[in-house]
């Protein structure tokens, strides 16, 4: 029995030994993979958070605004002007037009038929021919430039021919009756005729003179000059001489239509063969080197315009041509206000020496002026008003981030500009806040006044 038990223990000894060795090796391998513990553990690094930028109130009427916050609230400033810098009123909108004072209407003085028009010679169109270009002749048309005295058309007038004939007849009869009277006076002196014949001849001469004067006055009322009247009288003197050369019928009833001023033909209402009368405008000629400007001005700007010394110069610009401006003069302000738009019509002129501007174009006009010596001009949005006083925020000259609140005295105002009395509170050249001033006002009301805190009993 004892022998059997010893054999069983011996058979179990080897497996237990192997198992112990494996467990010891696994434990050693796991310990080898673990990091060696440091003798002292390092403390975690804590980065302090930056303090947020805030608006502060270092004084009763002072605010300190960090640049970061100024950028966030879109704080903007503008220079307080006056005296040396011109102030521009808001642009007035309007249009260009032909200057009525330079517009000339050409018409015929008599009823008649148009028998010819002015011929204009212009270069021939470009061609690839080696021959010299031949000028082209064409009738006058719109946009042609003319000079004063240029012949535009010829009208054949029956009425003019008849009135000229009446004058010729009256002058011819007058001369014949005067010769008869002279002969009768000679015979009467010799006793060869009765006195009654002489008196009848004298009455005939007087009637002829009246008829000749009446015909001449009619022609002069039709604006025939002395030269043409003298030519008609000379034609009458030829009737008594059979050998004299008579005038051509074409010249007798010829009416010349001539330009009465330099300019450009803007309208033309005549053609060959047309029958015209004095009530018809055959040509309209305008001087386009100066154009009229019609703009509408709001009534709140009229008071300032009326105060400006004449002449008032303005700059005219076209939205269709950015960067290009033209000089002109404001002349008249209409006395009537449009009840719907609350504007008045303001007219003036603009120089157009090169013909770049055209009547009917949409334009804007700007007026620049200098404030009086006792005023300082600032943008209207810089002034804060609560019904009791007017205040502005001015950037401190000592710090770019500090702003000072100042009360001001307004002398007059326009839509975009307010004029302050030059009493030293706001100086020329200082920068006033134009955008963000309301936020500064709210911040100043929200922050405690440091001067009031020091004087309170709790702080003592």
The helix (run of H) or strand (run of E) holding residue 88 is strand 87-88
For residue 67, the number of C-alpha atoms closer than 13 Å in the C-beta half-sphere is 2
- Segment of 366-380, 406-420, 434-448 carrying the highest mean pLDDT: 434-448
Contact 212, 170 (CB under 8 A): yes
Q: What is the per-residue pLDDT for 182?
A: 86
pLDDT band for position 275 (cuts 50, 70, 90): very high
Q: What is the per-residue pLDDT for 6?
A: 42
Residue 438 has pLDDT above 50, yes or no: yes
Q: What is the DSSP string of 290-347?
A: EEEEEEEEEHHHHHHHHHSPSSEEEEEEETTEEEEEEEEEEEEEEEEEETTTTEEEEE
Q: What is the per-residue pLDDT for 12?
A: 43
Edge-first strand listing for the sheet containing 254-258: 254-258, 151-156, 112-117, 275-276
Bin 353: left if φ > 0, else alpha if -120 < ψ < 50, else beta: alpha
Q: What is the per-residue pLDDT for 362?
A: 94
pLDDT band for position 459 (cuts 50, 70, 90): very low
Token duo for residue 93: 């909108």
- Segment of 116-130, 241-255, 371-385, 420-434 carrying the highest mean pLDDT: 420-434
Percentage of residues in the chain having pLDDT higher than 70 = 80
Classify domain 56-85+374-449 by CATH architecture: Beta Barrel (2.40)
Average pLDDT value over all residues in the chain: 80
Residue 34 has pLDDT above 60, yes or no: no
8-state DSSP, 258: E
Residue 318 has pLDDT above 50, yes or no: yes
Intrachain domains 87-99+287-369 and 103-124+134-155+259-286 with the same fold: no
The CATH number of 103-124+134-155+259-286 is 2.40.50.100
**Which of residues 200 and 393 earns the better pLDDT score?**
393
Q: Per-domain residue ranges for the chain?
A: 56-85+374-449, 87-99+287-369, 103-124+134-155+259-286, 158-252
Token duo for residue 269: 């209402």
The CATH number of 87-99+287-369 is 2.40.30.170
Helices (H) and strands (E) in the chain — how many of each? Answer: 9, 27
Q: Which residue has the tokens 């004939």?
A: 165
pLDDT tens for each residue of 258-270:
999 999 999 999 9
Percentage of residues in the chain having pLDDT higher than 90 = 16
Cβ-Cβ contacts under 8 Å for 412 (sequence gap 6 or more): 304, 375, 418, 419
Q: What is the per-residue pLDDT for 35?
A: 54
pLDDT band for position 94 (cuts 50, 70, 90): very high
pLDDT band for position 199 (cuts 50, 70, 90): confident
Cβ-Cβ contacts under 8 Å for 160 (sequence gap 6 or more): 110, 112, 222, 253, 255
Contact 165, 258 (CB under 8 A): no
In this structure, of 6-10, 243-247, 318-322, 401-405, the range with the lowest mean pLDDT score is 6-10
Q: What is the per-residue pLDDT for 24?
A: 43
**Nearest one of 217, 218, 212 to 175, comparing CA atoms:** 212
Q: What is the per-residue pLDDT for 418?
A: 85
Q: What is the per-residue pLDDT for 25?
A: 46
Contact 62, 406 (CB under 8 A): no
pLDDT tens for each residue of 107-164:
888 889 999 999 888 776 655 556 666 777 888 889 899 999 999 999 988 888 888 8
Residue 21 has pLDDT above 50, yes or no: no
- Segment of 54-58, 217-221, 238-242, 281-285 carrying the highest mean pLDDT: 281-285
pLDDT band for position 22 (cuts 50, 70, 90): very low
Q: What is the per-residue pLDDT for 4?
A: 45
pLDDT band for position 383 (cuts 50, 70, 90): very high
In this structure, of 121-125, 330-334, 358-362, 367-371, the range with the lowest mean pLDDT score is 121-125
**Nearest one of 349, 346, 354, 355 to 316, comparing CA atoms:** 349
pLDDT tens for each residue of 215-253:
888 888 877 778 878 887 777 776 655 555 555 555 678
């Amino acid at each position: 029995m004892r022998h059997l038990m010893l054999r069983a223990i011996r058979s179990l000894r080897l497996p237990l030994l192997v198992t112990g060795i494996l467990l010891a090796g696994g434990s050693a391998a796991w310990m080898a993979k673990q990091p060696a513990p440091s003798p002292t553990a390092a403390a975690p690094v804590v980065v302090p958070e930056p303090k947020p930028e805030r608006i502060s109130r270092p004084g009763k009427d002072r605010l300190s605004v960090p640049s970061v916050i100024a950028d966030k609230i879109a704080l903007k400033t503008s220079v307080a002007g006056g005296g040396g810098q011109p102030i521009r009123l808001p642009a007035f909108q309007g249009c260009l037009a032909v200057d009525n004072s330079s517009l000339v209407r050409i018409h015929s003085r008599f009823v008649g038929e148009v028998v010819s028009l002015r011929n204009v010679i212009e270069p021939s169109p470009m061609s690839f021919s080696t021959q010299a270009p031949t000028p082209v002749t064409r009738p006058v048309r719109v946009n042609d430039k003319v000079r004063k005295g240029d012949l535009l058309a010829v009208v054949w007038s029956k009425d003019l021919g008849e009135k000229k004939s009446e004058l010729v007849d009256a002058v011819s009869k007058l001369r014949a009756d005067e010769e008869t009277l002279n002969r009768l006076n000679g015979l009467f002196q010799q006793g060869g005729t009765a006195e009654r014949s002489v008196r009848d001849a004298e009455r005939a001469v007087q009637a002829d003179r009246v008829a000749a004067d009446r015909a001449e006055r009619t022609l002069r009322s039709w604006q025939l000059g002395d030269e043409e009247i003298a030519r008609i009288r000379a034609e009458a003197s030829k009737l008594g001489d059979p050998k004299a050369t008579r005038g051509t019928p074409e010249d007798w009833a010829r009416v010349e239509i001539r330009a009465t001023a330099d300019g450009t033909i803007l309208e033309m209402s005549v053609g060959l063969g047309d029958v015209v009368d004095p009530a018809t405008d055959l040509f309209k000629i305008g001087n386009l080197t100066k154009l009229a400007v019609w703009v509408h001005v709001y009534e709140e700007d009229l008071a300032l315009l009326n105060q400006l010394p004449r002449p008032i110069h303005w700059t005219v610009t076209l939205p269709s041509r950015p960067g290009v401006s033209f000089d002109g003069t404001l002349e008249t302000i209409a006395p009537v206000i449009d009840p719907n738009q609350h504007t008045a019509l303001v007219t003036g002129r603009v120089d157009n020496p090169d013909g770049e501007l055209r009547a009917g174009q949409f334009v804007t006009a700007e007026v620049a002026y200098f404030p009086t010596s006792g005023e300082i001009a600032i943008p209207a949005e810089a002034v804060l008003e609560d019904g009791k006083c007017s205040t502005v925020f001015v950037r401190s000259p000592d710090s770019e981030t500090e702003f000072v609140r100042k009360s001001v005295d307004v002398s007059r105002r326009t839509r975009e500009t307010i004029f302050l009395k030059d009493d030293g509170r706001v100086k020329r050249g200082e920068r006033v806040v134009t955008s963000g001033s309301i936020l500064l006002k709210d911040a100043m009301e929200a922050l405690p006044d440091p001067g009031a805190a020091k004087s309170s009993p709790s702080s003592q």
